[in-house]
Structure 1
Amino acid sequence: MKIETNSKRILACGIVICLVLLSTIGSASAYSLKSYWWQDEKAGFKIDSSVSTTWHNALNSAMDEWNDAPSDFYYYYDSSSDNKFQCQYLPQETWNGLCSTTYSGDSIIKTIITLNTAKSWSTYSICLPGKMDVQSTATHEFGHALGLAHSTYSDATMWQYGYTGTTWKRSLHSDDECGIRAMYGPE
């Protein structure tokens, strides 16, 4: 009888300890933020003449992906903006794209996103084998333009690597959405 009572007490204590431990576990995130952001919570971008007109839909879709995230930030097209999307040769041949940001303190002043002309690109709904997807890479680089750094989640759009023949980085992962919410707040 005494053994049975002790067993129940031990079991009850074990359950309480487990509940306490489980309540202290937060949701894991792997996004990483830079120390600067758009203070107005919006940014206009123009598409440079170096970018093929066949790429415009993919670039607009990349901006829209971030606009659809649950945050107070949005991108918009602005032909007179200093922020631009361009294509040119990048000397670091392994880079698909590059986001160059000018900032002062914690405020972004200007951003230029460049896709590497040394790469082969695709804008098809299914990316062609051996080619990089314009929309996936643009979505990733627009994430940097927001002030997000690379994520440690390999499924996230902000994961540092891009692969030929894939389109999965077109869509934001929940980690990407957590990053933009952490930086710009919820809607």
Structure 2
Amino acid sequence: MRMPSLIVAIGLFLGFAAVPGQAYQLDGTSWREGQATFHYDLRYKGSAISPSGKSWNSAFRDAANAWNDQTAFRFVLDTSDPSHPCAGVGDFPQDGFRNGAAFHDKVCNQVDGTEDDFGSRVLAVTIGYSFSSKPDEKVEADMFFNDAESWDIYDGALQGRLDFRRIALHELGHALGLAHEKSKPAIMQPTVGAIYTLQPDDVAGAEALYGPATPADEPIRMAIEEPFNGDVKSGISTFRGWVVSKNPLASLTLYRDGVLFGQLDHNGKRPDVANRFPTYPGSRNSGFAFATNFGDFSAGAHQYRLVARDNQGNQLEKTVSFSISRYENAFVKDDSLVSLRNARISSPAGNDIRIDGLEHDGKEYRVILRWKKAKQGFDPVEIIRTR
């Protein structure tokens, strides 16, 4: 796997030069597609619920949706298969260029493999990564919330505990490419204070990076939830997501590696989508999903492209890039052709299981399985023929 270069780690101690004629400040990087997916499942001291009774996950979602609703940037959120921001450091297994967030006692650097202390009075840090060949293009961002601090969730003036939601709102601003702002009221000020919502200066900074926000009621909204960017697939799994439209959809067309795959039905029950987009007709039945044997794909990189068109000529397109790890025979009908009798099993790191010497249809493989919360089980992330 090609390793990224560390581009910037932003905590309370960093500042950046102002953009001429503007108050907002940029860190010099942005996301090429104007969106980023965060894979998270937040726990503070082992608990998913704050002292005020609201979950950390929902507060993070609210913070991300504030940026989604007021700017052109899009945060896509996944709590089914979290990525730890220390992935690839110490005992945390590498999981590709996936964006993660967690309460933690250290700040991890995936480039040099170090774990550093937060520093005096540093509440949270966001680290961004890019390749040296494209230093202005983010490929990953990870958030660390200092679990040595006392946290809660609330609005208004600061109380005895820190408000997680406003600090997540700030860190998400770093994730999309904003730096600290010292001269105007902004959530991006370098110290936490009474501001707990996005300010005009914050929105202006996002607009400088990604253009003006589209109207709140976009003609079409859509998300591909599985596979996600950077995912590794093997065997039989699911392609799934949702789409809503103000006008009747004329087509929902899927392309695989640039070749037409077919039209998708989109009437699966999605009460979560209906709760978020109640003004879109049919949002309660907006899901799409189909099973596919990813073992039929060639090993290596692949891409899905999904295009939604309505009857007024509006169009929305989403793409997702993933990779395939597979056995040479995609489907074995005889169970006796798969055996572990001469295999060696170990656990090299964290949530990984390594199997050396697995026999599959007369051939021998090394297989690495990784725990996936969404399936409550282990999925193959690496399959390599050894004999």
Question: How would you bin the TM-score normalised by the shorter chain?
Answer: 0.7 to 0.9
Distance 2:24 2:184 in 1: 11
Q: Does 1:138 align with 2:168?
A: yes
Matched, 1:152 2:175: no
> Which residue does the alignment assign to 1:41?
34
Match of 2:15 in 1: none
User: 1:76 maps to which residue?
Assistant: 76
Equivalent of 1:85 in 76, 85, 101: 101
Task: Supply the distance in 1 between the matched residues of 2:184 and 2:191 (Cα, whole angstroms).
Answer: 8
Q: What amino acid is aligned across from residue 99 of structure 1 in structure 2?
A: T
- Note if contact 1:39-1:108 (Cα within 8 Å) is conserved in structure 2: yes
Q: 2: CA distance between counterparts of 1:121 and 1:128?
A: 11
In percent, how many aligned pairs have the same letter? 32
Give the aligned residue type for 1:84: G
Q: Does the Cα contact within 8 Å between 1:157 and 1:176 map onto a contact in 2?
A: yes
Deviations 1:115-155 (A, max 9, x none): 10111111134576221100000000000000100012352
1:100 is matched with 127
Give a deviation string over 1:142-185, Cα, whole Å, max 9, x none: 0000010001235200000014xx4x22x111000000000011
Structure 2 length as normaliser, TM-score?
0.38
Q: 2:175, 2:186 → 1: CA distance?
A: 16
Contact residue 42 and residue 101 of structure 2 kept, 8 A: no
Which of structures 1 and 2 has the larger relative contact order (alpha carbons within 8 angstroms, sep 6+)? 1
Point out 4+ residue stretches in structure 1 off by more than 3 angstroms.
Answer: 48-52, 124-128
Mind listing any 5+ residue stretches in structure 1 that lack a counterpart?
Answer: 1-27
Aligned length: 156
Residue aligned with 1:112, SS:
strand
Distance in 2 (alpha carbons) for counterparts of 1:127 and 1:57 = 20
Higher strand share: 2
Secondary structure of residue in 1 paired with 2:175: helix
Q: CA RMSD in A?
A: 2.1
Gaps of 5+ in 2: 1-20, 50-55, 84-97, 107-116, 215-387
Whether contact under 8 Å (1:62, 1:138) holds in the other structure is: yes
Q: 2:201 aligned to 166, 175, 178, which one?
A: 175
1:88·1:116 contact (CA, 8 Å) conserved in 2?
A: yes
Q: How far did residue 89 of structure 1 move?
A: 1.5
Query: Would you tell me which structure has more helix in proportion to its own residues?
Result: 1
TM-score, length basis structure 1: 0.75
